């Protein structure tokens, strides 16, 4: 069986939650992530770690554990970008590489923010 890369299952869980737009049960998340379907114990371990990182919240509704993202996709992406930039030994180079990867429309949006 193919193993996932580090963080791949976390990203798949968050994407499933954001796409759904409402809390999901563990079994719904298992079915909602791309193959291979993770084992229940694997999913629970990942969810515990994600909760510890502040990425998701878990709430028991009746006998079902419901999972929700703590932040929107936009807030999570912006936070990750900031963490990557601040954690770099050469933040200038990272920022230049990022800006260099943008298309013309994205550069215009960036320009409008910088000029305000």
Domain ranges in the chain? 8-69, 73-115
Q: What pLDDT score does 41 carry?
A: 93
User: What span, in angstroms and rounded, lies between the C-alpha atoms of 35 and 39?
Assistant: 11
Chunked into runs of 10 residues, the chain (116 residues) has average pLDDT values of 71 94 95 86 94 95 94 92 88 89 92 85
What is the third-level CATH fold of 8-69? Answer: Arc Repressor Mutant, subunit A (1.10.10)
Question: pTM of the prediction?
Answer: 0.77
User: How distant, in Å, are the alpha carbons of 1, 3, 54, 71 from that of 79?
Assistant: 33, 27, 12, 10
Q: What pLDDT score does 4 carry?
A: 59
């Amino acid at each position: 069986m193919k193993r996932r890369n580090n963080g791949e299952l976390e990203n798949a869980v968050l994407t499933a939650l954001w796409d759904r737009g409402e809390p999901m049960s563990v079994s719904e998340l298992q079915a909602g992530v791309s193959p291979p379907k993770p084992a229940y114990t694997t999913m629970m371990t990942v969810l515990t770690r994600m909760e510890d990182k502040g990425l998701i919240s878990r709430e028991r509704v009746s006998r079902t554990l419901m999972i929700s993202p703590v932040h929107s996709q936009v807030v999570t992406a912006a936070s990750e970008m900031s963490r990557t930039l601040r954690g770099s030994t050469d933040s200038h180079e990272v920022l230049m590489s990022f800006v260099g990867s943008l298309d013309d429309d994205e550069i215009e949006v960036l320009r409008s923010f910088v000029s305000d």
